[in-house]
């Protein structure tokens, strides 16, 4: 029995170490992308360059709703990408720290919390003590899903969505910066959109779990909703989070259908 427990402990320890590496590896590119978004998000709000002003005047860009919608869409996509990557960094750091600062034991965790795992408090769990045979994860992915499913779906979904929104934002930026050269701007924009679509296609065809990006997104929404509902009893921050999310969606839709187009960059 002791030999079996040692094997189980070694297996869990190995999975925990590899899981920590996974979250650390996601955190690094998320941090790089977040820093780029923070630096570049307001680029299209600057005064147009002198070489573009004659073209803008000839095409009445100052009063063009489509061009200003494009600029504002770029800004909002960059803000969204930044927010998603920041949440990826935060959750990855929390899980990595939890795995690194404790001798992680799925059995003891499950016994003390009734099968509730992860910082989100909604892991699946599954190992027991007291003479009951412990269930050992067959792979690192199984271990992560069993103990940190909410965090796993959040990190995967937010990182990929942030990367896609960043790529789409850059496509809009290319279209705007090269607006004077129609063919080149369309070519550059389509090139970046090809990259975004290719990432989604690859994710859907080579996904490890959940069967594709849409299924991953649905699972994350379900777990995220459950996470907020469970934590309402711990304080008001769950309600505050829901409130700000609702306001974000409401004003985004309101601004899209009833935009405020006031552009003073051209002196109008």
**Assigned domain for 161 exists:** yes
Condensed to tens digits (0 to 9), the pLDDT of residues 13-50 reads: 777 888 888 899 999 999 999 999 999 998 887 777 77
**Assigned domain for 91 exists:** yes
Asked whether the predicted pLDDT for residue 103 surpasses 50, the reply is yes
**Assigned domain for 134 exists:** yes
Question: Residue 93's pLDDT band (boundaries 50, 70, 90)?
Answer: very high
Q: Count how many domains the chain has.
A: 1
Residue with tokens 């090269």: 178
Q: Which pLDDT score is estimated for 63?
A: 75
Mean pLDDT confidence for 134-151? 79
Specify whether the CB–CB gap between 196 and 164 falls below 8 A.
yes
Domain residue limits at 168: 2-257
**Assigned domain for 115 exists:** yes
Range of 58-67, 74-83, 257-266 with top mean pLDDT: 74-83
Task: Identify which of 200, 194, 193 has the alpha carbon closest to the alpha carbon of residue 172.
Answer: 193
**CB-count exposure of residue 238 (10 Å: 0-12, 13-18, 19+):** middle
Question: Residue 61's pLDDT band (boundaries 50, 70, 90)?
Answer: confident
- Under DSSP, the state recorded for 231 is G
**Assigned domain for 87 exists:** yes
pTM for this model (two decimals)? 0.80
**Assigned domain for 267 exists:** no
Mean pLDDT confidence for 231-252? 91
Specify whether the CB–CB gap between 77 and 192 falls below 8 A.
no
Specify whether the CB–CB gap between 120 and 150 falls below 8 A.
yes
Q: Which pLDDT score is estimated for 125?
A: 42
Residue with tokens 């935060």: 90
For the stretch 96-101, contacts whose Cβ atoms lie closer than 8 Å and that sit 24 or more positions apart, written own/partner, are 96/20, 96/23, 96/24, 96/27, 99/16, 99/17, 99/19, 99/20, 99/23, 100/20
- Under DSSP, the state recorded for 50 is G
């Amino acid at each position: 029995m002791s030999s079996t427990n040692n094997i189980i402990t070694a297996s869990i320890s190995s999975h925990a170490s590899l899981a920590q590496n996974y979250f650390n590896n996601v955190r690094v590119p998320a941090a790089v992308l977040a820093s780029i978004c923070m630096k570049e998000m307001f680029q299209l709000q600057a005064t147009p360059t002198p070489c573009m002003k004659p073209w803008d005047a000839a095409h009445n860009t100052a009063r063009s709703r489509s061009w200003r919608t494009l600029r504002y869409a770029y800004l909002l996509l960059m803000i969204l990408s930044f927010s998603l990557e920041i949440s990826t960094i935060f959750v990855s750091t929390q899980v990595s720290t939890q795995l690194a600062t404790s001798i992680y034991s799925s059995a003891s965790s499950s016994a003390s919390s009734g099968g509730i795992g992860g910082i989100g408090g909604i892991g699946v769990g599954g190992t027991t003590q007291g003479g009951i045979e412990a269930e050992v994860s067959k792979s690192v992915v199984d271990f992560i899903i069993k103990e940190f499913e909410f965090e796993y779906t959040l990190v995967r979904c937010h990182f990929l969505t942030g990367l896609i929104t960043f790529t789409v934002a850059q496509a809009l930026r290319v279209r705007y910066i090269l607006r004077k050269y129609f063919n080149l701007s369309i070519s550059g924009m389509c090139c970046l959109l090809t990259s975004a679509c290719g990432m989604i296609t690859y994710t859907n065809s080579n996904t490890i779990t959940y069967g594709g990006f849409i299924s991953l997104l649905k699972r994350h929404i379900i777990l995220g909703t459950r996470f907020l509902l469970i934590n309402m009893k711990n304080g008001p921050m769950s309600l505050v989070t829901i409130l700000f999310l609702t306001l974000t969606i409401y004003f985004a839709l309101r601004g899209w259908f009833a935009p405020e187009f006031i552009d003073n960059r051209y002196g109008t």
